[in-house]
Amino acid sequence: MHDEQLEILDFLRRHAPFDGLAEERLQQVARSVDVRYVKAGTQIVEFGQPAVAWHVVRSGAVEVFRRDGSLHNRLTEGGYFGEAGLLQRRRVRFPVRALDDTLLYLIPEPVFTDLFEHDEHFADIVETEDRTRLRQVVSRREESNPLLSATVDSLLGRQPVTIAPSASAAEAAALMTEHQVSALLIVDADDAPAEGLRLVGIVTDRDFRSRLVARARGVEVPVRDIMTAELVTIDQHQLVFEAMMQMLRSNIHHLPVLRQGQPVGVIALSDVIRYESHNSLFVVGSIARQTTVDELAALTPAVHASFTRMVGEGASARMVGTSMAVIGRSFKQRLLELAEAQLGPPPLPYCFLALGSMARHEQLIVTDQDNALILDDRFDPAQHDAYFKQLADFVSDGLARCGYPYCSGGVMASNERWRLPLRAWEQHFTHWIEQPTAQSLLHSSIFFDIDGVWGRTEWPERLCALIARKARSQPRFLASMARNALLRTPPIGFFKEFVVEADGRHSEAINLKRRGTAPMTDLIRVHALAVGSRALNSFERLQDVIAAGILPPGRGQDLHDALEFISSVRIRNQADDLAAGREPDNSVEPAKLSTFDRKSLRDAFSILADAQGFLKFRYQSARAG
């Protein structure tokens, strides 16, 4: 070895994680090192560029940033960076810039990977200090995504522009022009709390067009006559991601922001778009503009492109699931509009339901359609069912053409079994809870994830309230649900090795839905029922479960991280299939995963196994009944 390599060797001996390597191995590493000098202020690596080397700081200092530009870490002599990109998809995950004049040792990717895969001491230190635990893996992914870290108040650039409800439309328009805003908050000072103003409405450019100009009304009408009084609002401390989802669900372009109930500003769709780089907003907008089923079906490639883009940009599983569910809901809503335009107004009020993953906002590309209809209690099959049968068929057939296959179990509104008046649904739910059978438990696992998509959406909320009220007081039902939740076990053996499929098309693979996310969702649902949670999303249910204090300390966060990681591997696998032109599915071969992902996936499955053990223990006392 020449002098420079001997100096490198001496440095490596004195710093972790190299200090535990055998001498021969250490020399091999030293011989592979490339030395790079960078001046202060130099960008060392950019987000998304190919990750080709692991960086060790010999002298100087560097700063590591998140994607949103916030500081993630500061490293000096002996610090290292770049393992996240090398272990996940060979792309730089965190941009790095030299703070001072800096000397770096660059260890080539093949050398780093070989060390990580074959030297447990090296791998354990690298993992422990940077991203080992599942908590670190998940939290850093969330921190690196601005939609999951930025709060709504970060979008507020000015104080809200307000006006009284008695002001004229002309005065409102003049005020909007003066302040160059597209929305005004309508506040009532005469009927306000002791301190502050009472928000009573919002008026936007669209309101002026549709409620004033289009109706040929005079500009002297009070602004209260053209404002939107049924407000959708958001708290300033909520996430930008939550604001985006609220706008998508409610089909609105302006969202009043509150602090302790008082208006502090308005965010517009354009404010959110600069954070939202995945184009799910644009897909939803496109769905609303289509006028035929053929045109809707033609959007399938755009849906796939949105999905792969979100995955490629590091969106969390929760973000992807929510965005894809909103897209799916938008297809249903537009199909229902087209159906009513073709069939005429419905003879009775109704609510079209989303069930399963769409209702939970956990939908992915590989999914089928689960839906149903709640009908007004005046429903008479002889008089009314022909219309609703045609409506349901139109929507189900349209969904199938748009990439949502028919449910193999027939859980669709096109099945007369699942077109029922509200009172019948209430009777079913009560019977399923109070007298559980194998069949009713299966129905419970499907229909207890229920959300209104169109029509009288307060009806499914009423059913959710019934479920929450009754289920928590029925220990026999909870025990039966717990038993069902234990039927699907995680794919790990006694020594924590993966248990793969032995034969069939997916030999040597694991079905991450059947053996991972589905049992996790089932498990969380049982706990949520036990504490009376009315949340639908598994992550939100878990928050309620944690708040109720029924889990051992730390177990709730472990479940959150395990669900997020298993889901993210499943999602990345589907995105890879789409990119390669293959039919996406839920199966992944552990042998084809990186060492990092295999270790983390094993950790997640172990958490699921432990959680199932706790579930069995907690609810077993009622089984005898």
Give the tens place of pLDDT for each residue, 103-151: 999 999 999 999 988 887 788 777 654 334 566 556 655 555 555 556 7
Give the tens place of pLDDT for each residue, 29-51: 999 999 999 999 999 999 989 99
Per the listing, tokens 């509150």 go with 258
pLDDT of res. 592: 84
CA distance 415 to 418: 6
Answer whether residue 281 shows pLDDT above 80.
Answer: no
Cβ(106)–Cβ(53) under 8 Å?
yes
How many residues are present in the chain? 625
- Residue intervals in the chain for CATH 3.10.580.10: 152-273
pLDDT of res. 601: 87
pLDDT of res. 198: 82
CA distance 515 to 523: 12
Answer whether residue 574 shows pLDDT above 80.
Answer: yes
Residue 538 CB partners (closer than 8 Å, separation 6+): 360, 362, 520, 521, 524, 525, 563
Kindly indicate the confidence band of residue 548, based on its pLDDT and cuts at 50, 70 and 90.
very high
Pairing of strands 53-59, 102-108: antiparallel
Say whether 533 sits in a helix, a strand or coil: coil
Cβ(546)–Cβ(525) under 8 Å?
no
pLDDT of res. 38: 96
Token code pair at residue 588? 């992944």
CA atoms within 13 A on the CB side of 127: 22
Of residues 542, 547, 499, 546, the one with CA closest to residue 524: 542
Kindly indicate the confidence band of residue 191, based on its pLDDT and cuts at 50, 70 and 90.
low
Amino acid occupying residue 156:
L
Give how far Cα 509 sits from Cα of 268, 365, 500, Å.
45, 19, 5
CATH superfamily of 278-432: Beta Polymerase, domain 2 (3.30.460.10)
Kindly indicate the confidence band of residue 494, based on its pLDDT and cuts at 50, 70 and 90.
low
Q: How many CB atoms lie within 10 A of CB 80?
A: 21
Kindly indicate the confidence band of residue 624, based on its pLDDT and cuts at 50, 70 and 90.
very low
Kindly indicate the confidence band of residue 412, based on its pLDDT and cuts at 50, 70 and 90.
very high
Answer whether residue 251 shows pLDDT above 80.
Answer: no
Which fold does the domain 152-273 belong to in CATH? CBS-domain (3.10.580)
CA distance 299 to 47: 30
CA atoms within 13 A on the CB side of 312: 16
CA distance 242 to 29: 47
Give the tens place of pLDDT for each residue, 59-115: 999 998 887 777 777 888 888 999 888 887 788 988 999 999 999 999 999 999 999
Answer whether residue 558 shows pLDDT above 80.
Answer: yes
CA distance 379 to 375: 6
% pLDDT > 90, the chain: 51
Kindly indicate the confidence band of residue 259, based on its pLDDT and cuts at 50, 70 and 90.
confident
Residues 470-488, mean pLDDT to the nearest whole number? 91
- Rg of the chain, C-alpha, whole Å: 28
Q: Which residue has the higher pLDDT, 506 or 223?
A: 223
Token code pair at residue 431? 């019977």
Q: Is 439 left (phi over 0), alpha (psi -120 to 50) or beta?
A: alpha
Kindly indicate the confidence band of residue 500, based on its pLDDT and cuts at 50, 70 and 90.
confident
pLDDT of res. 278: 43
CA distance 237 to 509: 42
The lowest-confidence range among 53-57, 240-244, 297-301, 317-321 is 240-244
Cβ(45)–Cβ(62) under 8 Å?
no
Which listed CATH number (1.10.1060, 2.60.40, 1.20.120, 2.40.50) goes with 472-625? Answer: 1.20.120
Which listed CATH number (3.20.20.70, 3.40.50.620, 2.60.40.640, 2.60.120.10) goes with 3-132? Answer: 2.60.120.10
- Residue intervals in the chain for CATH 1.20.120: 472-625
pLDDT of res. 404: 93
The lowest-confidence range among 121-135, 375-389, 515-529, 566-580 is 121-135
pLDDT of res. 480: 92
Token code pair at residue 196? 């502050």
- Residue intervals in the chain for CATH 3.30.460.10: 278-432
Residues 325-332, mean pLDDT to the nearest whole number? 90
Q: Which residue has the higher pLDDT, 145 or 240?
A: 240
Answer whether residue 264 shows pLDDT above 70.
Answer: yes
